């Protein structure tokens, strides 16, 4: 009686924090990768947006660095139940990258170097909710955490934040990615605890 688990209340030395249901707080930054860390030389690295009409928009590493960047501070929630609060990033907003892209698509399938994919509604990439992040905590993003650049879309479970991001494919119809095909929830809102299909 009377014992309130940190998992439910999210109370901690960090002050009064509220965590999504079923999450616990960690101060580490665990590495979760379904395979080896791909190494892409920066001179060969590119990021593409491909529309449903097959139009390809391309950015080299230099192009990405030349775009205006922002420094979001965000909370991360992994489906394996750890949350890490107040993480500091630098990257380019998807609003900037998608500004000149003409599309009627409602869905996005994100592709990574190494073959990983994950899907989400296009609107979840817009309005200051998602970035192509290339620095973490004041340093170049480490390869194991997705460097040189990863998608950061922190309002969804972290499996949606594709590491080693290579491109975004815009689609008229939704297409499940790697974990979504394996039974993870199609959308993955941590606040609604959408971990697995049927949640
Ligand atoms: N390309 C790629 N991106 C990925 C993954 C992966 O295996 N490959 N794992 C996802 C999962 S399940 C999680 S929880 C986070 C982990 O990010 P981290 O290793 O930086 O903590 O990356 C996501 N992005
Ligand atoms: Mo994960």
What is the per-residue pLDDT across 29-85, written as a single tens digit (0 to 9) for each? 999 999 999 999 999 999 999 999 999 999 999 999 999 999 999 999 999 999 999
Please state, in angstroms and rounded to a whole number, the distance separating the CA atoms of residues 110 and 170. 9
Instruction: Name the residue with the closest Cα to ligand 1, atom 24.
Output: 162
Contact 98, 108 (CB under 8 A): no
Pairing, β 15-16 against β 46-50: unpaired
Rounded mean pLDDT, 137-141:
98
Mean pLDDT of the chain: 93
Tell me what pLDDT residue 17 has. Answer: 78
Closest C-alpha residue for ligand 1 atom 12? 159
Q: Provide the pLDDT confidence category of residue 12 given band limits of 50, 70 and 90.
A: very low
Ligand 2: centre distance to CA 157 (Å): 7
* Domains of the chain (ranges, CATH numbers): 4-33+42-192 (3.90.420.10)
Q: Which of 134, 147, 163, 196 to mutate to test the pocket of ligand 1 (most atoms within 8 A of CB)?
A: 163
Q: What is the pLDDT of residues 71-93, one digit of tens each?
A: 999 999 999 999 999 999 999 99
Contact 159, 152 (CB under 8 A): no
């Amino acid at each position: 009686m009377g014992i309130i688990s940190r998992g439910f209340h999210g109370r901690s030395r960090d002050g009064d924090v509220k965590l999504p249901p079923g999450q616990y707080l960690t101060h580490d930054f665990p590495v979760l990768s379904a395979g080896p860390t791909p190494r892409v030389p920066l001179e060969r690295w590119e990021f593409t947006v491909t529309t449903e009409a097959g139009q390809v928009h391309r950015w080299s590493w230099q192009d990405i660095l030349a775009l205006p960047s922002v420094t979001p501070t965000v909370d991360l929630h992994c489906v394996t139940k750890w949350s890490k609060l107040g993480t500091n990033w630098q990257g380019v907003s998807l609003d900037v990258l998608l500004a000149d892209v003409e599309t009627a698509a409602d869905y996005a399938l994100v592709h990574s170097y190494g073959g990983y994919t994950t899907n989400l509604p296009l609107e979840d990439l817009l309005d200051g909710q998602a970035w192509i992040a290339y620095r973490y905590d004041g340093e170049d993003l480490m390869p194991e955490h997705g460097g040189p650049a990863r998608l950061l879309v922190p309002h969804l479970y972290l499996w949606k934040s594709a590491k080693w991001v290579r491109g975004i494919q815009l689609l008229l119809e939704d297409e499940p990615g790697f974990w979504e095909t394996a039974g993870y929830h199609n959308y993955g809102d941590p606040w609604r605890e959408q971990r697995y299909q049927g949640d």
